[in-house]
């Protein structure tokens, strides 16, 4: 059994709206957006790889636009689209909702609609919303409601303003996606951890993409930093070092499946908080297959630990994975 928690779906009407806005690539970083054609086509690709279930989400640039009305309309349209796919193919797909976060009233309403009416499995949040970081206090009322509902959150990096400062050739070299996206995730979780967001909201649980960016490598340094600060330092308001909160999150292995990366993530968060993800359909080439083989061939993992990564840990986050329609 394999549950891919990092799989994207872009409805054609959504992509057409992006084109009207002059957005030609995913996240505004120059990667062409693959439009969803049909569930049958996606299922055929999943079967070829041996993937049983995908957790569908919209990804970047998501529904974060200066026009709040457009953001709300696109959130409703895409969430309806994803929920309908799940209704038609409940044994193959789960879905997480996009939230028009720029307006808190709209965000609260869509969260309620997605969970109560559409019966979606979680939500996706970007690392920044129109360049306002997710860690900003503006979003605390929304995060409080997510915490109250115990809704799992899939995080995804969103193009950062700092990329405007990069040399133009960086785009051609792929720096925004291969470096910028990873550190956008890292920065966001560092901010939320250090500011005490996860201490304040004990039920707030994130699935962090790409093994959390640089978090597995940097987390021990953050604990050292915490321990070395004087008692009066703002960071010492946390009753626990950063690693305590980081181990509460889940880390998908999409594009971070090399054994060196797996060892680092395992060493910091443990096998119980790692989940299988591919970043499909962007990885509809050798990368999705290599992701699977990397876990299967990892000799330091027992068979039951591989099962945890492939599907059992996903079942902790998404109860429907444990139902008969999602597990054989």
Identify the CA nearest to 121 among candidates 84, 154, 95, 83: 95
Query: What pLDDT, on the 0 to 100 scale, is given for residue 27?
Result: 55
With 0-12 CB in 10 A as exposed, 13-18 as middle and 19+ as buried, what is 70?
A: middle
pLDDT at 174: 82
Q: Which pair of structure tokens corresponds to residue 297?
A: 């061939």
Residues of the chain with pLDDT under 50: 328
Query: Any residues with CB less than 8 A from the CB of 70 and at least 6 apart, and which?
Result: 17
- 4: closest CA among 246, 297, 321, 328? 321
- DSSP classification of residue 34: P
The H or E element containing residue 48 is helix 39-49
Separation of alpha carbons 313 and 217, rounded Å: 22
Q: Which of 153, 144, 186, 160 is nearest to 60 (CA)?
A: 160
pLDDT single digits (tens) 143-169: 999 999 999 999 999 987 677 777 888
For the chain, the domains span 3-322
Nearest alpha-carbon partner for 248 in 188, 189, 308? 189
- The pLDDT score that the predictor gives to residue 312 is 96
Structure token pair of residue 159: 């193009």
Name the DSSP letter for residue 53: E
* 202, 195 contact by CB (below 8 A): no
pLDDT of res. 63: 96
pLDDT at 55: 98
Close Cβ partners of 217 (under 8 Å, ≥ 6 residues apart) = 264
Relative to beta strand 132-133, strand 206-208 is: unpaired
pLDDT on residue 326: 57
Which residues fall within 8 angstroms of residue 323, CB to CB, at 6 or more apart? none
Q: Of the candidates 151, 148, 147, which has an alpha carbon nearest to the alpha carbon of residue 124?
A: 151
Query: Nearest 5°: phi and psi at 159?
Result: -50, 125
Residue 110: its pLDDT value, please?
A: 98
**What pLDDT digit, counting tens, does each position of 211-242 carry?**
999 999 999 999 999 999 999 999 999 999 99
CA nearest to 317, candidates 91, 4, 62: 4
Alpha carbon of residue 237 to chain centroid: 28
Topology (CATH) of 3-322: TIM Barrel (3.20.20)
Q: How far apart are CA 204 and CA 313, in angstroms?
A: 16
From 312, 316, 276, 288, select the one nearest 47 (Cα to Cα). Answer: 288
Q: What is the pLDDT of residue 161?
A: 67
Cβ proximity of 186 and 155 under 8 Å? no
Per-residue model confidence (pLDDT) at position 25: 64
Helix axis angle for 39-49 and 286-296, nearest 10°, is 40
**What DSSP character marks residue 311?**
I
Model-wide pTM > 0.75: yes
User: Given this model, what pLDDT does residue 179 score?
Assistant: 87
């Amino acid at each position: 059994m394999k549950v891919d928690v990092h799989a994207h779906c872009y409805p054609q009407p959504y992509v057409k709206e992006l084109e009207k806005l002059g957005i030609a690539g995913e996240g505004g970083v120059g990667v062409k957006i693959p439009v969803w054609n049909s569930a049958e086509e996606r299922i055929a690709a999943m079967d070829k790889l041996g993937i049983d279930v995908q957790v569908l989400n919209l990804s970047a640039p998501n529904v974060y636009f200066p026009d709040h009305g457009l953001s709300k309309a696109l959130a409703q349209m895409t969430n309806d689209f994803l929920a309908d796919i799940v209704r038609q193919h409940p044994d193959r797909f789960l879905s997480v909702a996009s939230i028009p976060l720029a307006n808190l009233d709209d965000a609260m309403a869509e969260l309620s609609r997605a969970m109560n009416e559409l019966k979606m499995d979680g939500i996706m949040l970007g690392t920044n919303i129109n360049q306002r970081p997710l860690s900003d206090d503006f979003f605390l009322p929304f995060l409080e409601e997510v915490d109250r509902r115990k809704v799992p959150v899939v995080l995804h990096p969103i193009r950062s303003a700092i990329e405007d400062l990069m040399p133009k050739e960086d785009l051609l070299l792929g720096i925004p996606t291969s470096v910028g996206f990873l550190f956008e995730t890292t920065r966001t979780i560092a901010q939320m951890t250090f500011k005490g967001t996860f201490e304040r909201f004990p039920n707030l649980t994130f699935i962090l993409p790409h093994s959390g960016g640089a978090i597995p490598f940097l987390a021990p340094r953050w604990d050292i930093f915490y321990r070395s600060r004087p008692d009066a330092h703002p960071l010492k308001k946390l009753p626990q070092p950063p690693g305590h909160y980081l181990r509460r999150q889940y880390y998908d292995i999409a594009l971070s499946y090399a054994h060196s990366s797996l060892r680092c993530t395992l060493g910091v968060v443990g096998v119980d908080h790692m989940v299988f993800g591919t970043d499909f359909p962007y990885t509809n080439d050798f990368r999705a297959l290599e992701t699977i083989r990397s876990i299967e061939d990892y000799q330091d993992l027992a068979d039951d630990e591989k099962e945890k990564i492939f599907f059992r840990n996903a079942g902790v986050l998404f109860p429907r994975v444990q139902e008969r329609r999602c597990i054989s």
